[in-house]
C-alpha cells in the first residue's frame, strides 16, 4: 500500500527565494516536481543549483516563498522531518563508524527496532553489492564503494524524495559512467521514487533526467524533457548549454539572410559540400572518431564552427569548405537571446 | 660464450648504477636535518636518563660521582669512629675490639686506612697500625677490623679511623622506598593526582560543549564570544589570583568554613585558567571538521546533542588528547596556583611544593631529590606516551573525498 501513497508525492516551489544579506542567490523560483520524476538541476557553477537543493533539504533557510512537499508547506520543518534523503558530493560518510553503522544511523536515531534496522540495511547492502563490506570503515573502501555507501544510507531511510548533490564529480571517468547507470537503475528499482539531482555536467543531465531544470543566475531558465531542451531551447543560454559539442552560434551579417540576430545550428544539422552553400570558411582542425568526424571551420567569428560528418573526413587543415544548415533544424534568436517563432 | 660474458658485464653495470643511486640519494639537507633531530632527541633524553640512573644509585656513590660512572666502581673516602673500651672482650690474655668500618654496607672494598685526614690510606688492607690508645689495629679488605692490646682499654671516646673504599656499582630502589615512605612524597603524589585529574577533565568537558556551540550552532553574538575567548588567552593569571582568593574566602565565610583553600577551589581555578585555551583549540579543530558530516547527520535526524556526542566528540579526539596533555602537564607542574589556592600544609601539599620543601630541608640528600624528581616527571611521561599517537593520527580518513 505504501507504494500507492507515494504517487501523490509532489514538490511544489512557489516564488522561492534565498538571500545571503544583500546578495540574492535564488530569485523567485517556481517549479513543480511530479511524483516519481527524475528531475535534474543543471547550470554553470554559481547558478544556485546546489543552494536550491539545500533549500529543499532544509539545510538552508528559505528567505521568501514557500516549499510544499505532498501539499504541506515545509519551510520551517527540520530536514529529518521532510521525508527526504540526501547524497553529498563528498559522500559525508561518518568516518569512525562501520558501513553498517553508517547506514543504520538514521534508523537508530529514530529508535527503530533492532531486527528492522538489520533487515533494512541488509536489503540496501544487497541492492548495492555492499554486503561483504558491512563491517569495514569508510577509510578502507574505494571511491566507488564509498559513493554506494552514501546512496545506501539514503535508501535505508526510505525517503519520499532523494536529493543528489553532484554525486559523481569525485569519481573517475569510468566509474562515473558505471555509477550513473546504477543510479538510473536505482530509480527504476525504487518504483520511481522522486529524485532530484544536481549536476553541472550536461551529459549526466541528458542521460538521467525525466525532466531537466536549467538554472542561470538564480533563475529558472527552462524546464523540460531532455529532448525538449535539445530541440526547442527557449533561450540562447539553454541552446548553448545543452548538447555536445556546443551548438554553433552564428551572428551578424552571416545571420541576416535568416532574419535573426543569432542563428544556432547543431553540428549534426549541417551539410558540407566543396562548392556552394550558405556559408563558407577554412578548415582549421579535424577530429576523426571513426563512426563520425568533426570538422572545425574558421569563418571569421570568435569561435570556430563545428560540423559533424558521417564516417571519416577527407578534409585537411587549410582546405576551403562550404556548408549549409538543414532548413527545419535552425534555431533563430533575437538580440535578447529569445527564440523567434 | 659471448652471451654469458655480456650478461655478466651487464650485471656489473647494474650494480655500479645502483651504488651510484644510493650515493646520489644522500642529500646534505636531509643529513643535517637528521643530525639536528638526533641532537634534539639527545638533549631531551640525556637529562631524563641521568635523573633516572641517579635516582637508582646507591646514595653514597651518588654523592661522590656522576651518573655516567654508575657502571664502574668508584672510590670514596670515609671515616668511622670505632668502639670504646666498653666493647672490648678479653680473649686469651688479650683485649680485643672488633667491628666493621663499613657498618652493614657490603659493597665496599677497602683501599687503605689511616689515622688522620691527611693520610687516609697510610696502611694497606690487611696491614696493622699502632694506636695511640695502645695496641695495634688491623683491617681486612672487607672492612672488618680487629684492635688488640695486651692491656685493658680504658678510652671512653672511640678513635676515628679514616679509610679509602672502593664502592662496587649498586642499583637499588631504596631511594624510592625512602622518599615514598618517610618523606611524605607519597601523600603529595596523591594530592597532586587529586588536583590534576579533575582539573584536566572539568575544563575539557566544558570546553568541548562550548567549542561545538561556537563552531556549529547559530546564535546571536557568536563572533563576539569567540573574539572574547581569544582575548582572554592573553590575560595573565597572576592578575586574578588575589581577587579570586578574596572571593573564595568570602564564600568560605558565608558557608562557615575555615578558609577558602579547598580542592574544589583549585579545580575551579585551574578550570577557569585553562578554559580560554581549551575553547580556542577545540573550536578551531571542530570548525575544520567537514560540514557535510554534520549536515548528513542532521538529515538523518540527529539533534545537536547527538551530533556532538556521536560525530564531533569522536572525531575531535586528537584535539581533545592534545589539550589533555597540555592541561595535565600544566596543572601537574604548577606551583603558584597550588600554593595560593591550596596552601602549604603537609596534608594538602602537591608534589611540586613537596619538591621545593625537600630542596630546602634535604638539599644535600641527592638520593632523595633525584628519586623525588623522577616520581614527579614519571606521570607526565606516561600521560604523554599514552596520548601522543593522537597527535599524528588523522581520524577523518574515508569520510570525504
- Sheet of strand A331-333: strand arrangement: A248-251, A262-265, A331-333
Report the distance separating Cα B64 and Cα A101, nearest Å: 65
Mean pLDDT lowest among A46-55, A170-179, B95-104: B95-104
Half-sphere exposure for A23 (CA within 13 Å, toward CB): 8
Q: Do B299 and A94 touch (CB under 8 A)?
A: no
Whether pLDDT at A2 is above 60: no
Looking at residue B20, what is its pLDDT?
Answer: 62
Q: Please tell me the predicted confidence (pLDDT) of residue B401.
A: 47
Residues of A in contact with B295 (CB under 8 A): 57, 59, 79, 86, 88, 92
A245 upstream amide cis, omega within 30 of 0: yes
Angstroms from A146 CA to nearest CA on chain B: 8
Spatial strand order of the sheet with A211-216 comes to A84-87, A161-165, A194-199, A38-42, A211-216, A219-224
DSSP state of B16: H
Q: Which one has a higher pLDDT value, A332 or A4?
A: A332
| Same domain as B202, residue B66 | no
Distance in Å from the first CA to the final CA of chain B: 58
Q: Which of A80, A93, A105 sits opposite B399 (nearest CB)?
A: A93
**Res B14: pLDDT:** 61
How high is the pLDDT of residue A1?
40
Please name the residues in contact with A140: beta carbons below 8 A apart, sequence gap of 6 or more: B398
In a domain, B370, yes or no: yes
Q: Are residues B191 and B111 in the same domain?
A: no
Domain span at residue B22 reads: 16-70
Q: Are A274 and A322 in contact (CB under 8 A)?
A: yes
Does residue B189 lie in a domain region? yes
From the list B300, B395, B399, the residue facing A105 with the nearest CB is B300
Q: Do both B109 and B63 map to the same domain? A: no
B63-to-A215, B119, B181, B355, B363 alpha-carbon distances in Å = 85, 21, 21, 19, 12
Is residue B258 assigned to a domain?
Answer: yes
For residue B388, the domain's CATH number is 1.10.3720.10
> In the prediction, which pLDDT does A279 show?
85
pLDDT at B3: 46
What does the pLDDT read at residue B394? 47
- Region A321-328 average pLDDT: 86
Residue B392: per-residue pLDDT: 55
Statement: residue A150 has pLDDT above 80: yes
Is some CB atom of chain A closer than 8 A to the CB atom of B295? yes
What pLDDT was estimated at residue B393?
55
Residue % of chain A over a pLDDT of 70: 97
- Range with lowest mean pLDDT among A94-108, A117-131, A213-227, B251-265: B251-265
A250 near A305, Cβ under 8 Å? yes
DSSP A19-68: EETTEEEEEEEEEEE-TT-EEEEE-STTSSHHHHHHHHHTSS---EEEEE
What pLDDT score does B396 carry? 54
Residues B217 and B245 in one domain: yes
Of B168, B201, B217, the last residue of a domain is B168
Q: Which residue has the cell 611544593?
A: B353
Q: Which of A57, A59, A96 sits opposite B315 (nearest CB)?
A: A96
User: In this structure, are B358 and B218 located in the same domain?
Assistant: yes
| Chain A residues lying within 8 Å of B216, measured CB to CB | none
Contact A213, A31 (CB under 8 A): yes
Contact B289/A at CB under 8 A: no
The closest alpha carbon to A339, from A248, A241, A245, A261, belongs to: A261
In this structure, are B59 and B121 located in the same domain? Answer: no
Both B384 and B284 in one domain: the answer is: yes
Cβ neighbours of residue B173 under 8 Å, at least 6 residues apart? B56
Burial B18-48 (b: 16+ CB within 10 A, else e): eeeeeeeeeeeeeeeeeeeeeeeeeeeeeee
CA A132 to chain centre: 32
Q: Which residues of B touch A96 (CB under 8 A)?
A: 314-315, 395
Length of chain A: 341
Q: Which of B308, B398, B400, B401 best tests the A interface by mutation, with the highest count of A CBs <10 A? A: B398
Average the pLDDT over each of A58-62, A116-120, B353-357 and give the range with the smallest value: B353-357
pLDDT given at position B355: 86
The answer to whether position B161 is within a domain reads yes
B64 and B78, same domain (yes or no): no
Q: Is B299 on the interface with A (CB under 8 A)?
A: yes
Residue with cell 582572554: B232
- Among B49, B281, B56, CA closest to B172: B56
Same domain, B40 and B78: no
Please report whether residue B312 resides in a domain: yes
**Which pLDDT score, from 0 to 100, does residue B2 have?**
44
What are the grid coordinates assigned to A212, written together? Answer: 531537466
DSSP H or E stretch at residue B390: helix B389-392
Q: Does A94 touch chain B (CB under 8 A)?
A: yes
CA distances from B395 to A87, A246, B176 (A): 22, 44, 40
pLDDT class for A132, splitting at 50, 70, 90? very high
Among residues B149, B95, B84, B137, the alpha carbon closest in space to that of B113 is found at B137
Please judge whether B399 and A94 are an interchain contact, meaning their C-beta atoms are less than 8 angstroms apart. yes
Q: Which of B140, B168, B196 is the last residue of a domain?
A: B168
Closest in B297, B300, B398 to A146, CB measured: B398
The alpha carbon of residue B227 is apart from the nearest alpha carbon of chain A, in Å, by 22
Q: Out of B109, B144, B168, pick the residue that ends a domain.
A: B168
d(CA B276, CA B286): 15
Question: Which of B216, B218, B288, B301 is the best substitution to test chain A (most A C-beta atoms within 10 A)?
Answer: B301
% of residues, chain A, pLDDT over 90:
41
For an interface test with A, the pick among B216, B297, B299 (most A C-beta atoms closer than 10 Å) comes out as B299
Q: What is the 3-state secondary structure (H, E, C) of A260-280?
A: CCEEEECHHHEEEECCCCCEE
What is the pLDDT at residue B6?
52
The separation between the first and the last C-alpha atoms of chain A, rounded to the nearest angstrom, is 47
Cite the beta strand spans of B193-344 per DSSP E: none
Quote the pLDDT of residue B147.
Answer: 85
**CA dist B146 to B83, B133, B138, Å?**
11, 14, 6
Residue B295 domain-assigned (yes or no): yes
Nearest to A180 by CA among A150, A207, A157: A207
Predicted TM-score (pTM) above 0.90: no
Same domain, B114 and B82: yes
| B6 domain residue, yes or no | no
Q: Residue B400 and residue A86: Cβ atoms within 8 Å? A: no
Query: pLDDT tens track of chain B, all 401 residues?
Result: 444 445 556 565 566 656 666 667 777 888 999 999 999 999 988 988 888 888 888 877 777 778 887 777 777 788 888 877 777 888 877 888 888 877 776 677 788 888 887 777 778 888 888 887 778 888 888 888 888 888 888 888 888 888 888 877 778 888 888 888 877 888 888 999 999 999 999 999 999 999 999 999 989 999 999 999 999 988 888 888 888 888 888 888 888 777 778 888 899 999 999 999 999 989 998 998 999 999 999 999 999 999 999 999 998 888 888 888 889 989 999 999 998 888 888 788 898 898 888 888 887 788 888 888 888 888 888 888 888 777 655 455 555 54
- Gyration radius of chain A's alpha carbons: 24
In a domain, residue B26? The reply is yes
Q: How far apart are CA A321 and CA A200, in angstroms?
A: 35
Whether the Cβ atoms of residue A140 and residue B397 lie closer than 8 Å to each other: no
The CA distance from A190 to A206, in Å, is: 21
Find the angle CA(A26)-CA(A29)-CA(A31) to the nearest 5 degrees: 140
Q: Is B127 left (phi over 0), alpha (psi -120 to 50) or beta?
A: beta
| Predicted pLDDT at A327 | 82
Q: How close does chain B come to A107, measured CA to CA in Å?
A: 8
Residue A17 has what pLDDT? Answer: 93
- Given a cut of 60, whether residue A254 has pLDDT beyond it is yes
Q: What is the ipTM of this complex?
A: 0.84
- Write out chain A residues lying below 8 Å of B298, CB-based: 59, 78-80
Spell A288-304 as b/e; 16+ CB within 10 A means b. eeeeebbbbbeeeeeeb
Q: State the cell numbers at A134.
A: 558491512
The span from the CA of A192 to the CA of A195, in Å, is 8
Are B116 and B62 in a shared domain? no
Tens-place pLDDT, residues A194-207:
999 999 888 889 99
> Looking at residue B10, what is its pLDDT?
59
Using CB atoms, pick whichever of A59, A90, A105 lies closest to residue B401: A90
Q: Name the domain count of chain B.
A: 3
- Specify which residues A249 forms β-bridges with: A264
Do B265 and B126 share a structural domain? Answer: no
Amino acid at each position: 500500500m505504501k507504494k500507492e501513497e507515494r504517487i501523490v508525492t509532489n514538490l511544489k516551489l512557489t516564488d522561492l527565494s534565498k538571500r545571503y544579506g544583500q546578495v540574492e542567490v535564488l530569485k523567485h523560483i517556481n517549479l513543480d516536481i511530479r511524483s516519481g520524476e527524475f528531475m535534474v538541476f543543471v547550470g554553470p557553477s554559481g547558478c544556485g543549483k546546489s543552494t536550491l537543493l539545500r533549500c529543499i533539504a532544509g539545510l538552508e533557510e528559505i528567505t521568501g516563498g514557500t516549499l510544499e512537499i505532498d501539499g504541506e508547506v515545509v519551510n520551517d520543518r527540520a530536514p529529518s522531518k521532510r521525508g527526504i534523503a540526501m547524497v553529498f558530493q563528498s559522500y559525508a560518510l561518518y568516518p569512525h563508524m562501520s558501513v553498517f553503522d553508517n547506514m543504520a544511523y538514521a534508523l537508530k536515531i529514530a529508535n527503530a527496532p533492532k531486527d528492522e534496522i538489520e533487515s533494512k540495511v541488509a536489503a540496501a547492502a544487497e541492492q548495492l553489492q555492499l554486503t561483504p563490506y558491512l563491517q569495514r570503515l569508510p577509510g578502507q573502501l574505494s571511491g566507488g564503494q564509498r559513493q554506494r555507501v552514501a546512496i545506501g544510507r539514503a535508501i535505508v531511510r526510505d525517503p519520499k524524495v532523494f536529493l543528489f548533490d553532484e554525486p559523481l564529480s569525485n569519481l573517475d571517468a569510468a566509474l562515473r559512467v558505471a555509477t550513473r547507470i546504477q543510479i538510473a537503475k536505482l530509480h527504476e528499482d525504487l518504483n520511481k521514487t522522486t529524485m532530484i539531482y544536481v549536476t553541472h555536467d550536461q551529459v549526466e543531465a541528458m542521460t538521467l533526467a525525466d525532466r531537466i531544470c536549467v538554472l542561470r543566475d538564480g533563475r529558472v531558465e527552462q524546464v523540460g524533457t531532455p529532448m525538449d531542451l535539445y530541440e526547442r531551447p527557449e533561450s540562447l543560454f539553454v541552446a548553448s548549454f545543452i548538447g555536445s559539442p556546443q551548438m554553433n552560434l552564428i551572428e551578424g551579417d552571416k545571420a541576416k539572410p535568416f532574419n535573426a540576430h543569432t542563428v544556432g545550428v547543431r553540428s549534426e544539422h549541417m551539410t558540407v559540400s566543396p562548392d556552394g552553400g550558405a556559408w563558407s570558411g577554412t578548415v582549421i582542425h579535424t577530429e576523426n572518431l571513426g563512426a563520425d568526424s568533426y570538422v572545425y571551420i574558421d569563418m571569421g567569428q570568435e569561435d570556430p564552427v563545428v560540423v559533424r560528418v558521417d564516417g571519416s573526413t577527407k578534409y585537411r587543415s587549410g582546405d576551403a569548405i562550404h556548408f549549409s544548415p538543414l532548413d527545419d533544424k535552425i534555431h533563430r534568436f533575437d538580440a535578447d537571446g529569445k527564440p523567434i517563432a | 660464450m659471448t652471451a654469458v660474458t655480456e650478461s655478466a658485464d651487464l650485471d656489473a653495470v647494474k650494480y655500479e648504477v645502483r651504488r651510484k643511486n644510493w650515493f646520489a640519494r644522500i642529500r646534505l639537507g636531509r643529513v643535517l636535518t637528521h643530525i639536528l633531530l638526533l641532537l634534539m632527541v639527545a638533549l631531551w633524553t640525556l637529562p631524563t636518563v641521568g635523573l633516572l640512573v641517579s635516582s637508582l644509585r646507591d646514595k653514597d656513590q651518588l654523592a661522590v660521582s656522576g651518573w655516567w660512572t654508575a657502571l664502574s666502581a668508584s672510590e670514596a673516602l670515609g671515616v668511622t669512629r670505632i668502639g670504646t673500651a666498653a666493647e672490648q672482650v678479653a680473649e686469651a690474655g688479650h683485649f680485643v675490639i672488633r667491628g666493621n668500618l663499613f657498618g652493614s654496607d657490603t659493597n665496599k672494598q677497602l683501599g687503605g686506612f689511616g689515622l688522620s685526614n691527611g693520610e687516609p690510606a697510610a696502611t694497606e688492607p690487611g696491614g696493622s697500625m699502632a694506636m695511640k690508645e695502645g695496641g695495634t689495629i688491623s683491617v681486612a679488605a672487607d672492612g672488618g677490623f680487629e684492635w688488640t692490646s695486651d692491656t685493658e682499654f680504658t678510652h671512653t671516646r672511640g678513635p676515628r679511623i679514616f679509610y679509602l673504599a672502593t664502592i662496587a656499582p649498586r642499583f637499588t630502589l631504596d631511594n624510592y622506598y625512602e622518599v615514598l615512605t618517610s618523606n611524605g612524597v607519597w601523600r603529595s603524589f596523591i594530592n597532586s593526582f587529586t588536583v590534576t585529574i579533575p582539573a584536566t577533565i572539568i575544563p575539557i568537558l566544558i570546553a568541548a560543549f562550548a567549542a561545538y556551540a561556537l563552531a556549529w550552532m547559530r546564535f546571536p553574538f557568536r563572533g563576539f564570544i569567540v573574539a572574547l575567548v581569544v582575548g582572554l588567552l592573553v590575560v595573565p593569571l597572576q592578575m586574578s589570583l588575589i581577587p579570586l582568593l578574596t572571593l573564595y574566602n568570602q564564600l568560605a565565610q558565608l558557608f562557615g568554613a575555615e578558609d577558602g583553600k579547598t580542592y574544589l577551589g583549585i579545580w575551579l581555578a585551574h578550570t577557569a585558567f585553562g578554559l580560554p585555551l581549551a575553547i580556542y583549540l577545540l573550536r578551531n579543530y571542530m570548525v575544520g571538521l567537514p560540514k557535510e558530516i554534520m549536515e548528513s547527520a542532521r538529515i538523518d535526524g540527529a539533534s545537536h546533542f547527538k551530533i556532538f556526542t556521536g560525530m564531533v566528540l569522536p572525531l575531535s579526539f586528537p584535539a581533545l588528547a592534545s589539550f589533555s596533555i597540555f592541561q595535565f602537564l600544566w596543572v601537574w607542574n604548577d606551583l603558584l596556583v597550588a600554593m595560593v589556592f591550596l596552601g602549604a600544609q603537609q596534608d594538602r601539599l602537591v608534589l611540586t611544593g613537596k619538591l621545593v620543601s625537600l630542596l630546602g630541608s634535604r638539599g644535600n640528600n641527592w638520593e632523595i631529590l633525584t628519586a623525588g624528581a623522577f616520581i614527579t616527571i614519571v606521570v607526565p611521561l606516561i600521560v604523554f606516551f599514552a596520548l601522543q599517537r593522537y597527535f599524528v593520527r588523522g581520524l577523518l580518513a574515508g569520510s570525504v573525498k
